[in-house]
């Protein structure tokens, strides 16, 4: 039986990163990803940005050429906590399906179960590498610094191309800038479902 724990971060901040131990063998991850997080906020809403990341044995992040951005992580997912309502008929264990048909504000300090869809990915990681999950309150930023954008799509790319969530009219600090806490342990088993492909026999 695991013990209970929690970690708190700024609702508009850099968040927290969880890392696996070094992989014992070459590992393939192919398919959709989903996360279940047990969360509370000190305000009436929270935006969760989830980034699945790959790290080399010396903990340098490995990124890839995305459709637009040359510093794209393994996979990303997003959820506004007030839009957590699921469609029971369309939701699958590996693909939560949100209705987005009503806003459900949070009661500050109350614990909520949030299911977050993360984009599918396909990667084979060597033994010794680590998989990370970052949960934060703003867009992913490649730690190696920004790169040149594509003219009309933006002058600077930071890992998410031009698809940024930074309009203060949509994300006022009084609603989204509180403290967000993630819980784990018995009764609140926060986790990530990864599509690990068994090695060939």
pLDDT at 10 over 60: yes
Confidence of residue 200 (pLDDT cuts 50, 70, 90): confident
**What structural domains does the chain harbor?**
5-138+180-195 (2.60.120.260)
CA distances from 68 to 76, 154, 164 (A): 15, 11, 13
Please tell me the predicted confidence (pLDDT) of residue 17: 97
Residue 123: burial class (beta carbons within 10 Å; 0-12, 13-18, 19+): middle
- Mean pLDDT for the stretch of residues 139-149: 74
Tokens 């784990």 sit on residue: 184
Contacts from 107-112 at CB under 8 Å and sequence distance 24+?
Answer: 107/44, 108/40, 108/41, 108/42, 108/43, 108/44, 108/178, 109/40, 109/41, 109/42, 110/40, 111/38, 111/39, 111/40, 111/183, 111/188, 112/38, 112/39, 112/40, 112/81, 112/84
pLDDT at 153 over 60: no
162 contacts 153 by C-beta, under 8 angstroms: yes
Task: Enter the pTM of the model.
Answer: 0.90
CA angle 90, 77, 139 (to 5 degrees): 150
pLDDT tens for each residue of 41-83: 999 999 999 999 999 999 999 998 877 767 889 999 999 999 9
Please tell me the predicted confidence (pLDDT) of residue 112: 98
9 contacts 193 by C-beta, under 8 angstroms: no
């Amino acid at each position: 039986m695991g013990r209970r724990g929690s970690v708190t971060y700024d609702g508009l901040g850099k968040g927290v990163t969880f890392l696996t131990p070094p992989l014992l063998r070459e590992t393939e991850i192919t398919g959709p990803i989903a996360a279940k997080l047990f969360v509370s906020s000190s305000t009436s809403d929270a935006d969760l940005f989830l980034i699945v990341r790959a790290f080399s044995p010396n903990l340098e992040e490995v990124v890839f050429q995305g459709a637009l951005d040359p510093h794209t992580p393994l996979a990303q997912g997003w959820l506004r906590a007030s839009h957590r309502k699921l469609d029971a008929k369309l939701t699958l264990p590996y693909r939560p399906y949100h209705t987005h048909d009503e806003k459900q504000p949070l009661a500050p300090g109350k614990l909520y179960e949030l299911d977050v869809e993360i984009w599918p990915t396909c990667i084979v990681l060597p033994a010794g590498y680590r998989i990370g999950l970052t949960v934060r309150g703003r867009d992913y930023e490649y730690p190696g610094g920004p790169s040149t954008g594509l003219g009309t799509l933006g002058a600077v790319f930071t890992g998410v191309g031009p698809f940024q969530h930074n309009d203060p009219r949509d994300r006022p600090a009084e609603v989204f800038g509180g403290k967000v806490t993630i819980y784990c342990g018995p009764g609140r088993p926060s986790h990530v479902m990864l599509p690990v492909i068994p090695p060939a026999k």
